[in-house]
Amino acid sequence: MDLQERVRLKKADRNELYTLEPPFPTTNFLLELSNACNQACLFCAHQKMRRKVGKMAPEMVESALRQAYELGAREVGMYATGEPFIVPELAEYVKLAKDIGYTYVYLTSNGSLATPERIRAVVDAGVDSVKFSINAPERKLYEFIHGRDDFDTVMEHLKYLNQYRRESGRDFKIYLTGILTRYTEHTRDDYFKVFDGLADQIVFKDVYNQGGYMPEIDWQLKCTHDKEQTRRCNLPFDALCVTCEGYLSVENADFENMLIVADLNKVSLKEGWYGDKMKEVRRMFLDDCLEGTLCHGCVHHCQSPAAPLMPEYATENPDIFLDRQVRERIKAAGFPYTKLVYVPMAADILHPGHINILKTAASLGRVVVGLFSDEAIRSYKPEPYMDYEQRKTVLESLKYVDEVVCQETKDYSDNLRRYRPDYMVHGTDWRTGPLAEVRRKAIDLMGSWGGEVVEPEYTQGVSSTDFKRKVREQ
């Protein structure tokens, strides 16, 4: 099976798999030897990860390899969220897998740490394929995407990998993948010129919401030709990923351990694969009832609240879905991007003035409404008629609104610092009155990172406060 076929099978309709107790995977078994990485790819959630960086204990490596082999696995990849060549014992683990009897042991690497010495070690240990992930075919774009100026180094290492294959006479495959974004999709043909003769196969993948952690890919990085609305996923039925802590995860890109289904320090791999938590996940996939999980955003190309499957193993990261880092990197590189527009709003009684504000905001970029909490409204206005969740439901149904977040106080500073929007939109009514000082602080704060406050003219003749007063009078 070649690399392109392996990629295709991850999303192919394979009805024989879709049961609560599918056969134990013989392929698609990944060991996350470490979650450390020396690069910061634009589309990768590693740049936002707060999970403790570490590496898998040797005894867990051996235990997982032996248990999976006994259950029928014959292929293993030694990578997941991290860079495999960062692990000093990598060659030892490759040899261990081959000694156990694995017929196919493979690596995916960014290539920057794959020095000649390390290449010789893993090749001599018996690796069956090495894949370099090179996500731009020229130096400037490479640095933008990978976050490091390693293109020349990676090229040298790729050439040496080919050279050592000839010198050693060993029969292993050399693959190359390119993750395409809207900034690199025009470079496909260049790959075949730049890497001519350096890879047995070059395979391209369209960037997508990585493990559910990168919803911003859909509005910042998605290829212009990519019209996918729903993504088929076979992982819960046909893939194993053991994290560096020794947990079994549904997804190999589980950066904050939000998709853990078993702790292999406490239960066997067989118990984890056929356990109640894994069955629960499979049931959700079979019924397409993934709301509230990380998988929902990945499968349905959306951003939605997500809770970990087993909170005791997850790392809390309230900023995991923010697109701030991606936006700032694109902006620094001078490329066009979808700008973020922050709109603070009480929206207790929605009226044409609100719609005018939101329409203006939507013309500038992606609209995030900072919806005042009930307590924030009470600090300067009468009691709201609708509570926060009711007001949130109304706003989320509007075509001009992309996301609604909570604004805890009438001072916008905390949310502005957190989201660092390109624009903030507010009507001119705040120039005087209880929000005048808030306005001054917001303008100063936005200016500190080059943001802009936009003030559409206040819509005359409509006012939530006046509406409430008239109701009370009547």
Provide the 3-class DSSP secondary structure of residue 342.
strand
What is the DSSP track for 200-259? SEEEEEE---GGGS-TTHHHHT--TT----S----HHHH-EEE-TTSEEES-TT-TTSTT
Q: Does residue 304 sit in the same domain as residue 359? A: no
Say if CB 336 and CB 365 are below 8 A apart.
no
Q: Does residue 16 belong to any structural domain of this protein?
A: yes
Q: Does residue 438 belong to any structural domain of this protein?
A: yes
Question: CA geometry: angle at 88 spanning 86 and 93, to 5°?
Answer: 105
Q: Does residue 129 sit in the same domain as residue 265? A: yes
Q: Does residue 219 belong to any structural domain of this protein?
A: yes
Strand duo 240-242 + 247-249: pairing: antiparallel
Q: Does residue 321 belong to any structural domain of this protein?
A: no
Q: Which pair of structure tokens corresponds to residue 36?
A: 């450390």
pLDDT tier, 49 (very low <50, low <70, confident <90, very high otherwise): very high
pLDDT in tens, 354-397: 999 999 999 999 999 999 999 999 988 888 889 999 999 999 99
Q: Does residue 129 register a pLDDT over 60? A: yes
Closest CA to 306 of 284, 328, 337, 278: 284
Count of domains observed in the chain? 2
DSSP state of 421: -
- Whole-number Å distance between alpha carbons of 338 and 365: 6
Q: What is the pLDDT of residue 100?
A: 98
Question: CA geometry: angle at 293 spanning 289 and 294, to 5°?
Answer: 125
Q: Does residue 298 sit in the same domain as residue 427? A: no
Q: Does residue 146 register a pLDDT over 70? A: yes
pLDDT in tens, 85-127: 999 999 999 999 999 999 999 999 999 999 999 999 999 999 9
55: CATH: 3.20.20.70
pLDDT in tens, 52-65: 999 999 999 999 99
- Whole-number Å distance between alpha carbons of 5 and 460: 62
Which amino acid, 383? E
**Which single residue is written with the structure tokens 């003749």?**
461
Question: CA geometry: angle at 287 spanning 286 and 289, to 5°?
Answer: 120
Q: Does residue 246 sit in the same domain as residue 373? A: no
Question: CA geometry: angle at 58 spanning 57 and 62, to 5°?
Answer: 120
Q: Does residue 46 sit in the same domain as residue 186? A: yes
Q: Does residue 98 sit in the same domain as residue 230? A: yes
Q: Does residue 245 sit in the same domain as residue 388? A: no
Q: Does residue 288 sit in the same domain as residue 367? A: no
Q: Does residue 467 belong to any structural domain of this protein?
A: yes
pLDDT in tens, 264-282: 999 999 999 999 999 999 9
Q: What is the pLDDT of residue 458?
A: 77
Q: Does residue 332 belong to any structural domain of this protein?
A: no
pLDDT in tens, 289-325: 999 999 999 999 998 899 999 999 999 999 999 999 9
Q: Does residue 467 register a pLDDT over 60? A: no
Q: Does residue 289 sit in the same domain as residue 347? A: no
Q: What is the pLDDT of residue 462?
A: 57
Q: What is the mean pLDDT of residues 326-336?
A: 97
- Whole-number Å distance between alpha carbons of 316 and 311: 9
Q: Does residue 291 sit in the same domain as residue 425? A: no
Say if CB 168 and CB 144 are below 8 A apart.
no
DSSP state of 289: -
Q: Which residues contact 189 (CB under 8 A, 6 or more apart)?
A: none
Q: Does residue 446 register a pLDDT over 60? A: yes
**Cα radius of gyration (the chain):** 25
- Whole-number Å distance between alpha carbons of 149 and 269: 40
Q: Does residue 326 belong to any structural domain of this protein?
A: no
Q: What is the pLDDT of residue 327?
A: 97
Q: Does residue 350 sit in the same domain as residue 308? A: no
* Cα torsion through 420, 421, 427, 429, rounded to 10: 10
Q: Which pair of structure tokens corresponds to residue 364?
A: 């500038």
Range of the domain at 384: 339-473
359: CATH: 3.40.50.620
Q: Does residue 465 register a pLDDT over 70? A: no
Last residue of a domain, one of 278, 313, 348: 313
Q: What is the pLDDT of residue 470?
A: 56
pTM of the entire predicted model: 0.92
pLDDT in tens, 226-257: 999 999 899 999 999 999 999 999 999 999 99
Q: What is the pLDDT of residue 8?
A: 64
Q: Does residue 171 belong to any structural domain of this protein?
A: yes
Length of the chain: 474
pLDDT in tens, 156-200: 999 999 999 999 999 999 999 999 999 999 999 999 999 999 999
Q: Does residue 125 sit in the same domain as residue 252? A: yes
Out of 238-242, 302-306, 403-407, 457-461, pick the least confident: 457-461
Q: What is the pLDDT of residue 94?
A: 98
Helix, strand, coil tally for the chain in percent (to 5): 40, 15, 45
Q: Does residue 472 register a pLDDT over 60? A: no
